[in-house]
């Protein structure tokens, strides 16, 4: 165990921030909480069931890797429970790691207290060189935003209950490498055999679609057969809505597509959005300022539900449609957007994406899906994986029951999240590293081959995909 010690060599009793104190839950406190006793300074809703679960982890004698009360410095009220719950252990890459937990009562949320408590805990972990992970539910946007803005940029996988395990790199270190596929937690049932697939999630360009942009007859037949037997196939693409319509005829009975790298779930039948996850105007403006300050030749565009808009200096790869709006940068940043696009001529996306993520900080997610200079920027916590996780929860499908296919860095999070994942034969190295398996190339009908194999295995085992009604 790595002891969390103060300057005098004793366990840190209380982490202090500008507005909060985080004293350790003592064994006496824990016993009282578990017995249902309360202190007069505690909020009426504290402790809740989750707080009592944390309190049960309190050590005797106490040490710094344990639960803490969250106390407002102003009025002394205890409004929640938090902690670096340990002791720390070596992760698969050998780095010492611990899990952070922050829980607040309902009416203490939304005022920055969770962010401040987490920042205090992270400062202690950084001081001691211990990496931190967190488990968050993808259907809790506040929690997803909290960890994303705190620098939890690595998506390691998911747990049986559907929580995403996010990891924050230590300051000054590289991004979190994915764990070895054979040892990924919650990726396989205990007996070692992959769970029966209940949903297939596939990227479009470079994956489902051939290089000429078409759906091959074999792929169309495989999609039709999957829909016929009740195996949902969900399209998850970086394309904006305006470029996704060509595949709508192949959407199954669930009627949904995920576009714009997870920023929009579109209901094809209703012709309306099911979910939008946009970048706030202030974040758009801040990212544009930061990027342009370092990359003077950069130009910007935005995807909105209403369509595409570019700044006057934007250099598109293809000729723009007549209905594309040209706006000043201030106008681009005047309303929420699904994606912010950056072009930086003469520099490959591979080469400058990491620097743009550094410049943007915790405000957004930076990725790319082609071999030129185009970067695609989404709101913090918004990826193909996190939006697919929301949809799967709605459909009652667990991560281990999902088969995902992709080929580019914007597919990486989804490939890591799914129980079984395929990188296409021609995939970008980051996608190939993230996937558990390899499929044939997009021009060789790799997606069709995987779907056909799933359906054949279902026939052999007598299992059937769930009906989608």
Cis peptide before 47, with omega less than 30 degrees from 0? yes
Secondary structure (3-state) at 173: coil
In order of their start, the domains of the chain are: 14-177 (3.40.630.30), 199-277+383-461 (3.40.50.1000), 281-379 (3.30.1240.10)
User: What is the model's pLDDT at position 165?
Assistant: 87
Looking up tokens 């390691």 gives 156
Local structure of residue 464 (DSSP, 8 states)? -
Q: Sheet of 233-235: strands edge to edge?
A: 233-235, 199-202, 402-406, 420-424, 437-439
Joined tokens for residue 293: 């300050």
Query: How far from 171 is each of 1, 4, 343, 389, 420, CA to CA, in Å?
Result: 21, 18, 28, 28, 31
Joined tokens for residue 221: 């037949």
Looking up tokens 């929640």 gives 80
User: What is the model's pLDDT at position 9?
Assistant: 37
- Label residue 453 exposed, middle or buried (CB < 10 Å: 0-12, 13-18, 19+): middle
User: What is the model's pLDDT at position 197?
Assistant: 95
pLDDT tens for the chain, residues 1 to 469: 455 554 433 457 899 999 999 999 999 999 999 999 989 999 999 999 999 999 998 888 777 888 999 999 989 999 999 999 878 899 888 899 999 999 999 888 767 789 899 999 999 998 888 999 999 887 676 777 788 778 887 777 778 777 888 888 887 654 444 443 333 333 333 333 457 899 999 999 999 999 999 999 999 999 999 999 999 999 999 999 988 988 999 998 889 999 999 999 999 989 999 999 999 999 999 999 999 999 999 999 999 999 999 999 998 877 888 889 999 999 999 999 999 999 998 888 888 988 999 999 888 999 998 768 999 999 999 999 999 999 999 899 999 999 999 999 999 999 999 999 999 999 988 899 899 999 999 999 999 999 999 999 865 544 444 444 3
User: What is the model's pLDDT at position 110?
Assistant: 67
User: What is the model's pLDDT at position 12?
Assistant: 76
Secondary structure (3-state) at 392: helix
User: What is the model's pLDDT at position 460?
Assistant: 52
Secondary structure (3-state) at 257: strand
User: What is the model's pLDDT at position 459?
Assistant: 53
Please write down the HEC assignment for all residues of 258-313.
EEHHHCEEEECCCCEEEEECCECHHHHHHHHHHHHHHCCCCEEEEEECCEEEEECC
User: What is the model's pLDDT at position 149?
Assistant: 74
Joined tokens for residue 62: 């106490």
Q: Which residues contact 51 (CB under 8 A, 6 or more apart)?
A: 33, 80, 81, 103
User: What is the model's pLDDT at position 185?
Assistant: 33
User: What is the model's pLDDT at position 64?
Assistant: 84
- Answer whether 148's CB lies under 8 Å from 381's CB: yes
User: What is the model's pLDDT at position 175?
Assistant: 47
Q: Which residues contact 427 (CB under 8 A, 6 or more apart)?
A: 206, 406, 407, 408, 435, 438
Strand 199-202, strand 256-259: pairing: unpaired
User: What is the model's pLDDT at position 145?
Assistant: 72
- Answer whether 423's CB lies under 8 Å from 439's CB: yes
- Answer whether 403's CB lies under 8 Å from 385's CB: no
User: What is the model's pLDDT at position 372?
Assistant: 83
């Amino acid at each position: 165990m790595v002891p969390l010690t103060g300057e005098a060599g004793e366990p840190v009793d209380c982490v202090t921030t500008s507005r909060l104190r985080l004293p350790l839950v003592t064994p006496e406190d824990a016993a009282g909480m578990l017995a249902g006793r309360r202190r007069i300074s505690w909020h009426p809703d504290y402790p809740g069931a989750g707080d009592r679960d944390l309190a049960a982890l309190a050590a005797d004698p106490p040490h710094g890797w344990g639960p803490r009360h969250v106390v407002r410095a102003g009025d002394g009220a205890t409004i929640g429970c938090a902690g670096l719950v340990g002791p720390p252990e070596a992760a698969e890459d050998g780095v010492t790691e611990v899990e952070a937990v922050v829980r607040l009562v309902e009416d203490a949320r939304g005022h920055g207290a969770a962010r401040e408590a987490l920042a205090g805990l992270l400062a202690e972990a950084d001081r001691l060189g211990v990496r931190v992970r967190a488990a968050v539910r993808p259907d809790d946007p506040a929690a997803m935003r909290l960890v994303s803005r705190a620098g939890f940029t690595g998506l390691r996988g998911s747990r049986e209950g559907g929580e995403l395990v996010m990891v924050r790199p230590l300051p000054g270190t590289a991004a979190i490498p994915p764990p070895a596929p054979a040892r990924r937690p919650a990726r396989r049932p205990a007996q070692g055999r992959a769970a029966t697939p209940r949903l297939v999630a596939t990227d479009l360009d470079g994956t489902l679609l051939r290089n000429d942009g078409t759906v091959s007859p074999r792929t169309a037949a495989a999609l039709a057969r999957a829909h016929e037997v009740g195996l949902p196939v969900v399209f998850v693409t970086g394309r904006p809505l305006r470029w996704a319509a060509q595949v709508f005829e192949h959407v199954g009975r669930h009627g949904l597509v995920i576009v714009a790298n997870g920023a929009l779930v579109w209901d094809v039948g209703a012709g309306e959005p099911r979910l939008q996850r946009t970048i706030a105007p202030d974040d758009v403006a801040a990212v544009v300022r930061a990027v342009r300050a370092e990359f003077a030749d950069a130009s910007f565009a935005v995807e909105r539900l209403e369509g595409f808009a570019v700044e006057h200096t934007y250099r598109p790869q293809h000729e723009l449609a007549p209905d594309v709006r040209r706006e000043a940068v201030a106008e681009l940043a005047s309303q929420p957007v699904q994606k912010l696009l950056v072009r930086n001529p003469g520099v490959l996306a591979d080469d400058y994406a990491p620097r743009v993520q550094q410049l943007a900080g915790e405000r957004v997610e930076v990725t790319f899906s082609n071999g030129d200079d185009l970067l695609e920027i989404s709101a913090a916590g918004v990826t193909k994986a996190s939006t697919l996780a929301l949809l799967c929860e709605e459909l009652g499908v667990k991560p281990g029951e999902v088969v995902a296919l992709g080929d580019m860095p914007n597919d990486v999070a989804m490939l890591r999240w799914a129980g079984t994942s395929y990188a296409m034969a021609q995939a970008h190295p980051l996608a190939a590293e993230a996937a558990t398996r390899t499929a044939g190339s997009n021009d060789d009908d790799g997606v069709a081959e995987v779907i056909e194999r799933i359906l054949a295995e279902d026939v052999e085992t007598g299992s059937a995909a769930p009906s989608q009604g």
